[in-house]
């Protein structure tokens, strides 16, 4: 008998992570992103299981979902590209692409944008690329065709100086046309050194460090009051935690039990002028958040699987906000830029060429 695979089944096949994840969390993610009822996806997952294209255990012997060998074959045929070991296929403006390739391309875009502009926070942008990619490509419920969709998840780039990384991701997701990216920091361009809410997909204007978590608290509180079910994510710098306003916001979020709020600290260990621990020590950082009433966990912030696991764990937290201390490397991905060397340094033509070569 000739069998065909429907669109929902293709979506499921191409969204099975290469990392351990439960079938329910995968289907829930697809349901939220593509606005397909969970029950429809569950039925289709069951069919894929019967076709022997995916495998997962049934409760109580539950196990993570994975593609079978046949499933992987079909999935590759369907999307026409080899999935990488680094993660699942993600939907981009140009169709489904392997996450690992997308992330490399984002780093290349950030390098090109900052080189073209002649200024920008390169190290801080590169350290945050993986986190932003996972949020916009996998985790968040949003719709590039309808940026102001009321029930979308919200994102606040509190460390606003990493704007080039945000613009690169927003472009890949379909919000910003790629030909505008190279206007970074040009007079008259929307794409300034810090994000502005005029830009489709940008939920908060930021740049003055210390304010983003307060904005996120307001958004999460509003979502609770509206009953919209949307989540709010805030990306903070570790040096930014020197700002007292962060800790006022942390108290407020815990006071209101904002379990729809997740903060992510880009713990790259450096601020503008040196090591965070030398300028104002913060360790043990997770314990500090816990003492403020937050669920706190650590993750490898440059490992997509680790970030996704932590974000999924935050979804399960109830009654309090959650924070991920994402251990990252400033300048991540380019050997000679890692550390604080390219905090504010712009690559010259030679350096750009070398850096891009490392990402091939
Ligand atoms: C209120 C405020 N003070 C100073 C600055 C200037 N500034 C821009 S980036 C930066 C360092 C931030 O360090 P961190 O939060 O660790 O982020 P990283 O660049 O390491 O990712 C500073 C002080 C600012 N943007 N806002």
Residue 90 lies in a domain: no
Ligand 1 centre from 175 Cα, in Å? 26
- Whole-angstrom Cα distance, residue 346 to residue 332? 15
Q: Which of 40, 169, 34 is nearest to 181 (CA)?
A: 169
Q: Are residues 155 and 270 in the same domain?
A: yes
pTM of the model: 0.81
| pLDDT above 90: percentage of residues in the chain | 68
Q: Which of 80, 107, 133 is the last residue of a domain?
A: 80
Residue 263, beta-bridge partner list? 234, 323
How many structural domains is the chain composed of?
2
Please give the distance, rounded to the nearest whole angstrom, from the Cα atom of residue 111 to the centre of ligand 1.
19
Closest protein CA for atom 23 of ligand 1: 272
* Exposure b/e, 277-306, CB count within 10 A at least 16 = b: eeeeebeebbebbeebebbbbbbbbbbbbb
Q: Which residues contact 3 (CB under 8 A, 6 or more apart)?
A: 51
CATH number, position 245:
3.40.50.970
What are the phi and psi torsion angles at 151 (to 5°)? -90, 15
Q: Which two tokens stand for residue 70?
A: 């046949």
CA of 295 to the centre of ligand 1 (A): 25
182 and 134 within one domain: yes
Q: What pLDDT score does 1 carry?
A: 37
| Lowest mean pLDDT segment, chosen from 28-42, 215-229, 243-257, 346-360 | 28-42
* One domain for residues 67 and 13: yes
81 Cα: distance to centroid of ligand 1 (angstroms): 39
The answer to the question of residue 177 being in a domain is yes
State whether 15 and 104 are in the same domain: no
Report the residue among 120, 122, 123, 124 best suited for mutation to probe ligand 1: largest number of ligand atoms under 8 A from its CB.
124
The predicted pLDDT at position 78 comes to: 56
List pLDDT tens digits, range 92-136: 888 878 888 999 999 999 999 999 999 999 999 999 999 999 999
Task: Give the per-residue pLDDT at 19.
Answer: 62
Phi, psi of 36 (to 5 degrees): -110, 135
**193, 195, 239, 267, best to mutate for ligand 1 pocket (most atoms within 8 Å of CB):** 239
Nearest-CA residue for ligand 1 atom 19 is: 124
Average pLDDT over every residue of 60-69:
76
Backbone angles phi, psi at 292, to 5 degrees: -90, 5
| Domain, as residue range, for 310 | 95-337
Query: Which of 36, 52, 80 marks a domain boundary?
Result: 80
Say if residue 223 is in the same domain as residue 152.
yes
Structural domain includes residue 107: yes
Smallest CA separation from ligand 1 atom 8, residue: 161
* Lowest mean pLDDT across 66-80, 190-204, 233-247: 66-80
Task: Give the residues surrounding ligand 1 with Cβ less than 6 Å away.
Answer: 121, 124, 127, 159, 161, 207-210, 237-240, 266, 268, 270-272, 276, 330
CB atoms within 10 A of CB 357: 9
Residue 224 confidence (pLDDT): 93
> And the tokens for 128?
């945050």
| Residue of 55, 50, 54 lying closest to 14 (CA atoms) | 54
Report if residue 222 sits inside a domain. Answer: yes
Which domain CATH number covers 63? 1.10.10.10
Tell me the pLDDT tens digit for each residue of 16-28.
Answer: 876 667 888 888 8
Q: Ligand 1 centroid to 115 CA: how many Å?
A: 20
Query: Has residue 253 been placed in a domain?
Result: yes
Task: Check whether residue 30 and residue 141 sit in a common domain.
Answer: no
Give per-residue burial for 10-22: e unless 16+ CB within 10 Å, then b. Answer: bbbbbbbbbbebe
d(CA 289, CA 274): 23
* Best mutation site among 130, 192, 240, 267 for ligand 1 pocket (most ligand atoms within 8 Å of CB): 240
- Do residues 142 and 75 share a domain? no
Give domain status of residue 344, yes or no: no
Question: Would you say 97 and 90 are in contact if contact means Cβ atoms under 8 Å apart?
Answer: yes
Q: Is 258 helix (H, G, I), strand (E, B) or coil?
A: coil
Between the CA of 352 and the centroid of ligand 1 the distance, in Å, is: 24
One domain for residues 73 and 99: no
Q: Is 20 within 8 Å of 60 (Cβ atoms)?
A: no
**Are residue 55 and residue 113 in the same domain, yes or no?**
no
Whether 69 and 153 map to the same domain: the answer is: no
Judging by DSSP bridges, how do beta strands 274-275 and 154-157 pair with one another?
A: unpaired
114 plus 69 within the same structural domain: no
55 C-beta neighbours (distance < 10 Å), count: 16
Regarding whether 51 and 112 lie in a shared domain, the answer is no
Answer yes or no: is 346 within a domain. Answer: no
Does residue 347 lie in a domain region?
no
């Amino acid at each position: 008998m000739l069998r065909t695979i429907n669109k929902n089944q293709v979506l499921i096949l191409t969204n099975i992570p290469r990392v351990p994840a439960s079938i329910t969390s995968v289907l829930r993610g697809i349901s939220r992103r593509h606005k397909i009822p969970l029950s429809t996806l569950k039925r289709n997952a069951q069919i894929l299981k019967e076709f022997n294209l995916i495998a997962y255990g049934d409760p109580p012997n539950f196990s993570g979902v994975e593609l079978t060998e046949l499933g992987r074959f079909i999935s590759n045929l369907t999307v026409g590209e080899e999935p990488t070991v680094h993660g699942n296929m993600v939907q981009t403006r140009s169709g489904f692409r392997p996450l690992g390739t997308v992330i490399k391309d984002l780093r290349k875009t950030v390098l090109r944008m900052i080189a073209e502009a002649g200024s920008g926070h390169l190290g801080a942008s590169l350290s945050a690329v993986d986190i932003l990619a996972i949020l916009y490509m996998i985790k968040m419920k949003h719709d590039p065709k309808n940026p102001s969709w009321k029930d979308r998840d919200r994102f606040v780039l509190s460390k606003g100086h990493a704007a080039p990384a945000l613009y690169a991701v927003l472009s890949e997701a379909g919000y910003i046309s790629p030909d505008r990216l190279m206007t970074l920091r040009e007079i008259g361009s929307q794409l300034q050194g810090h994000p502005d809410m005029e830009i489709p997909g940008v939920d908060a204007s930021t740049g003055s460090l210390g304010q983003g978590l307060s904005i996120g608290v307001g958004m999460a509180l509003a979502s609770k009051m509206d009953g919209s079910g949307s989540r709010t994510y805030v990306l903070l710098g570790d040096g930014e935690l020197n700002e007292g306003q962060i800790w006022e916001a942390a108290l407020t979020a815990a006071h209101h039990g904002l379990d729809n709020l997740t903060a992510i600290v880009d713990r790259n260990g450096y601020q503008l002028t040196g090591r965070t621990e030398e300028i104002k020590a913060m360790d043990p950082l997770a314990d500090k958040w816990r003492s403020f009433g937050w669920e706190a966990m650590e993750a490898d912030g440059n490992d997509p699987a680790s970030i996704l696991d932590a974000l999924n764990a935050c979804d399960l937290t109830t009654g309090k906000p959650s924070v991920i201390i994402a251990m990252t490397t400033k300048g991540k991905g380019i050997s000679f830029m890692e550390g604080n060397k390219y905090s504010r340094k712009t690559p010259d033509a030679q350096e750009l060429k070398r850096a891009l070569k490392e990402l091939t």
